[in-house]
A and B are shown apart, each in its own frame.
Chain A
Amino acid sequence: MNKNIKRLAKNFAFSAGLILTITLVGIALLAPLIAPFDPDVQDTSRRLEEPSKEHPLGLDDLGRDVFSRIVFGARVSLRVGFSVVIIASMIGITLGAIAGYFGGAVDTAVMRLSDILLAFPGILLAIALVAVLGPSLNNVILALSTIGWVGYARLVRGQVLKVREMEYVTAAKALGAKSPRVIVLHVLPNVINPVIVMATLGLAGAILSEAALSFLGLGVQPPTPSWGAMLTSGRRYLGLANHLAIFPGAAIMLAVMGLNFLGDGLIDALDPKYRKLMD
């Protein structure tokens, strides 16, 4: 483990990613302290005002402080990101472990379902689900989790298939351990590394998808500040007030880039072979 930490520290992508990610999480946690203004307070007399000393990123179409809205937007992005990763990985790990460990009909059922979900372009399915369920933060989380678990399930199943043949698993079984105990104590700890990598990359993916859905008007509804939704309303004022589109987009990109760097660095540090598993 110590060797791993040293290798990680030397990895530029990982360090840059870690700094960006810690900044992102810090901004989200400390939003009320960092934001100079209430993100929802409007001053319509000063709408679309350019960046100034008082408002470093300018004011939006309703005269709200763009910087404060981006700071609070980090909360929305991370709430969706973490919720999706937690829900999707829980479902995926459980189904993948059961399918891989027991095989047979359960395995076939899980794999066929995942085949269908994978054949369907991910974001399209999310759009479809939100379209019928109605646009809201929770429905975005639900839709992204529905498509998100598949990756974890396939990853964990593949790893479990390998691990279950190991001698220590046979030994545990010979000593009388029951299946749930074998899976949780002996099998899962040995497949957890690639899952962590997938979760990191999944966090970036979920943040990007939330922004995309909000950009399409299918995500978080106003007045909640979401980077994607801010970008959509900023698009209407291109040429008049470019800062409305430029800054939220930059926030999305930095967040996504940070997490991608982190994930990439983890792959290199833990095991370069994981790169193949992430497809």
Chain B
Amino acid sequence: MTQYIIRRLLQMVPITLGILTLVFSLIHLIPGDPAVQIAGENARPEDIVAVRKALGLDEPLWKQYVQYINKLAHGDLGRSFRTNESVATEIKERYPATIQLAFGAMLVALLVAFPLGMISAIYRNSWIDNVARFFALIGVSMPSFWFGPLLIIAFAINHTWFPVSGREEGLKSLVLPSVTMGLALAAILTRMIRVSVAEELNQLYVTTAIAKGATRTKAIFRHALKNALIPVITVLALQFGSLLTGAIITEQIFSWPGLGRLLIQGISTRDYPQVQASILVIALTYIMVNFLSDLLYGVVDPRIKLE
């Protein structure tokens, strides 16, 4: 196991460096002179010079890169152009909101997908199976930026059960954004669980269990489920990463004060340090989560490590 972890950690080094480089180069992709673009078209020449200096754009490229990495290593993500506050502080404030939303969505997805996928697998090709499969199809094709507004119309405007936006009302605020973000995951998981459980039900050990007198329910829950869950757990962990990017859109729909909203706000105000830092933090979290889910895979299914 240790060897496996070390190998996976080593694989992460070039990828992390690649992401750092990509985020670093973003500011240099701004067409024309970035300093002019950032200072604004009508900026005075001395302002442009000041911006160039503040961003270190007057230094040679390699030096800028080294300084960038060095600052990151010290936890310095730069200062916001808009508020002149440390970007790291702002990100620290917003981060929990995004993570909370991601967990909320995951919970919603599990609550829907588990019963639906199991029933679907047990009663294959029945009407309930068809309903579940149709739900899964709709779920993957439904864009969150449509589903969210539909939920708002139904449950925040027509029935005022939940707030339209914001995070002030605690758990009540969390419901609609979580459902919005959880739908696609619920659809994917329902499909996964259905296929996975159905496959296990065809295995000889299940037939043996039933032959030896176990009820069907017992055979499913005692024997088949454990094995069926292995691929499901992995998909769940892997999808947690994509929930983080899904949050960018969901947070925008519900004005949820998380990282994604910070990123979009940063873009609209051309606050490049904030944009770079938000992207970096989201991307690093994403690869961290994927790394952990790989390890988890190795734990639940020891065969994986051998590859």
Contacts and interface: CB of A to CB of B under 8 A. Distances in A.
Interface of A: 112, 115-116, 119-125, 127-129, 131-134, 208, 211-212, 215-218, 228, 231-232, 234-235, 238-239, 242, 245-246, 249-250, 252-253, 256-257, 260
A223 to B, nearest CB: 19
Contacts of A239: 153, 157
Interface in B15-43: 15, 18-19, 22-23, 26-27, 29-31
A124 B31 contact: no
12 contacts: A119-B286, A121-B242, A124-B282, A134-B31, A217-B264, A218-B267, A235-B253, A238-B157, A245-B146, A249-B145, A253-B141, A257-B141
B258 to A, nearest CB: 14
B307 to A, nearest CB: 16
Contacts of A216: 248-249, 252, 264
A112 B31 CA distance: 27
Contacts of B64: none
Contacts of B249: 212, 215-216
Given A131-B275, A249-B150, 5 more contacts: A112-B14, A124-B279, A235-B149, A238-B152, A257-B141
Give chain B's interface secondary structure class. Answer: helix
Contacts of B142: 253
A200 B152 CA distance: 32
A217 B145 contact: no
Contacts of A249: 143, 145-146, 149-150
Contacts, number: 118
B215 to A, nearest CB: 33
A171 to B, nearest CB: 34
Contact of A119 (B15, B140, B143, B157): B15
Nearest to A214: B145
Given A119-B19, A121-B282, A208 B143 contact: yes
A184 to B, nearest CB: 32
Contacts of A212: 143, 145, 249
B15 to A, nearest CB: 4
Contacts of B290: 119
Contact of B248 (A124, A133, A235, A260): A124
Interface string B253-294: 100000000011001100010010001001100110010000
A109 to B, nearest CB: 12
Contacts of B146: 231, 245, 249-250, 252-253
A121 B141 contact: no
A238 B267 CA distance: 25
A211 B283 contact: no
B264 to A, nearest CB: 6
B173 interface: no
Contacts of A128: 22-23, 26, 275, 279
A129 B28 CA distance: 11
Contacts of A231: 145-146, 149
Given A115-B15, A238-B164, A253-B141, A121 B31 contact: no
Contact of A256 (B27, B141, B153, B282): B141
Contacts of B268: 217
A234 B264 CA distance: 19
Interface in B189-218: none
Contact of A242 (B27, B29, B153): B153
Contacts of A124: 245, 248, 279, 282-283, 286
- Which 3 interchain pairs have the tightest Cβ spacing? A249-B146, A116-B18, A257-B141
A127 B283 contact: no
A228 B143 CA distance: 10
Contacts of A256: 141, 143
A120 B138 CA distance: 27
A112 B17 CA distance: 12
B150 A246 contact: yes
